[in-house]
Copies of this chain bind each other. A is one copy, B any other.
Amino acid sequence: MNTIGRLLRLTTFGESHGPAMGGILDGLPAGVHIDMERLQQMIDRRRTGRSTLTSQRRETDIPEILSGVSSDGRSLGTPIGFIFRNTDARSGDYSEIESHFRPNHADFTYQLKYGLRDARGGGRASARETVNWVMGGALAAEWLRQLGISIEARVVGVGNVGYDDPLAELRDNPASASLPHDEDIERGMLEVVDTARRNRDSVGGRVACVIRGVPAGLGDPVFGKAQARLAQAMMSLNAAKSFEYGLGAEAWHAYGSQTLDLFNENFNPQPMSSDNHGGILGGITTSMPIYFAMSFKPTPTISRPLPMPDTSGKLTEIAVEGRHDPCVALRAPVIVEALAWLTIGDLLLLSHHEPLV
């Protein structure tokens, strides 16, 4: 099950230290102009090796598009095949742990499920896989931006530093609000990560995302709800531990009398005056901003000696070297955006045969 989406469908492959990562995006409408430069910018946002705060692995991450795009750069409506060569895979780093399971990694579960695994670099469970997702999302974005849709995700918390309720403004002033930005907090979050790195430790993080310009009427009632589709996509990120939208995880404290989104006269300037519902009612989009937040656990790899079992369960103290992000959330925003582009694109195709406002 390496496919996401029903009509706009991304299927991916690739082991972290194999020859290449890659995928097929099927269902992108024909005639979309693909701006390769903008595509590359989005891919570069997720790339590693740009600072001491993210993994030191260096990949050029330039996609090779093998099909589905015409010579003048327009989508053909046929599947777009692409690959990313793995050029900086230092498998030697992993030789020590090929026969042992790292705590809170997928080594153990892949071995149990498949009976064998590609131990180098986490194989298919590596975050390297997400380069495929960003590529798919970037292609979808080329189409959806033309329809006036925008998506933005940001880191909003790391360790004990972050924004109190990063979605509050979006709830109360949906017409004008954006994700919060405060220089002190931004700097503070980076300091937390840097400290964790120096302590050979790792730290969790929190990401918020807002989607604007989605027409009303997307999402299927009952089992294809817009929020269920977004949650499924976002929980595909290995380190994601929560998904919340609208009133979010604190919704249980709320009273109806205080959180209803009253309608504006003539639905003007927007249908409702507030957006506690998070842009979705009954699983269907209202045309108001959709926004959500996610929490990420700390990277499970820390550079300290830990007891690790072999297949028989015998424990050995091993210190993993490798190259890893001390805070996986730092690279997450562009991946979150990519999954959101893919999900919104799919919902749009699924709904297009129905009357939309």
Contact of A263 among B9, B15, B81, B101 (CB under 8 A): B101
Q: CA A176 – CA B270 in complex, angstroms? A: 52
Is A198 positioned at the interface, with any CB of B under 8 Å from its CB? no
Which stretch from A45-53, A104-112, A146-154, A178-186 is at the chain B interface?
A104-112
Show 15 A/B contacts (Cβ-Cβ < 8 Å), sorted by A.
A13-B66, A76-B118, A77-B113, A77-B114, A78-B118, A106-B221, A112-B284, A238-B282, A242-B248, A243-B243, A251-B297, A256-B298, A259-B297, A263-B315, A266-B312
Q: CA A11 – CA B109 in complex, angstroms? A: 26
| Known contacts A235-B231, A249-B242, A67 near B13 by CB under 8 Å | yes
Inter-chain contact A81/B281, CB cutoff 8 Å: no
Q: CA A272 – CA B280 in complex, angstroms? A: 39
Contact of A254 among B268, B285, B297 (CB under 8 A): B297
- Beyond the given A30-B355, A247-B295, please list 19 additional residue pairs across the A-B interface where CB-CB is below 8 A: A12-B222, A14-B67, A19-B65, A30-B116, A76-B116, A78-B114, A104-B260, A106-B283, A108-B263, A113-B351, A241-B248, A251-B298, A254-B297, A254-B298, A265-B315, A266-B314, A268-B313, A349-B353, A353-B353
Contact of A109 among B234, B282, B315, B353 (CB under 8 A): B282
Q: CA A53 – CA B298 in complex, angstroms? A: 41
The residues in A between 1 and 51 inclusive whose CB is less than 8 angstroms from any CB of B are: 1-4, 6-7, 9, 11-15, 18-24, 26-27, 29-31
Q: CA A70 – CA B252 in complex, angstroms? A: 36
The residues in A between 213 and 244 inclusive whose CB is less than 8 angstroms from any CB of B are: 216-217, 219-225, 227-236, 238, 240-244
Is A334 positioned at the interface, with any CB of B under 8 Å from its CB? no
Chain B positions within 8 Å of A158 at CB level? 252
Chain B positions within 8 Å of A9 at CB level? 3
Q: CA A301 – CA B260 in complex, angstroms? A: 9
Interface residues in A, total, Cβ within 8 A: 157
The residues in A between 265 and 295 inclusive whose CB is less than 8 angstroms from any CB of B are: 265-268, 271-272, 276-278, 280-286, 295
Is A354 positioned at the interface, with any CB of B under 8 Å from its CB? yes
Q: CA A223 – CA B298 in complex, angstroms? A: 21
Inter-chain contact B30/A81, CB cutoff 8 Å: no
Q: Lowest 3 CB-CB distances: which A-B pairs, in order?
A: A106-B282, A1-B224, A13-B81
Chain B positions within 8 Å of A234 at CB level? 231
Chain B positions within 8 Å of A254 at CB level? 203-204, 297-298
The residues in A between 316 and 345 inclusive whose CB is less than 8 angstroms from any CB of B are: 329
Q: Which residue of B lies closest to A223 (CB)?
A: B4
Is A88 positioned at the interface, with any CB of B under 8 Å from its CB? no
Chain B positions within 8 Å of A159 at CB level? 252-253, 255
Inter-chain contact A354/B77, CB cutoff 8 Å: yes
Q: Which residue of B lies closest to A110 (CB)?
A: B282
Q: Which residue of B lies closest to A309 (CB)?
A: B263
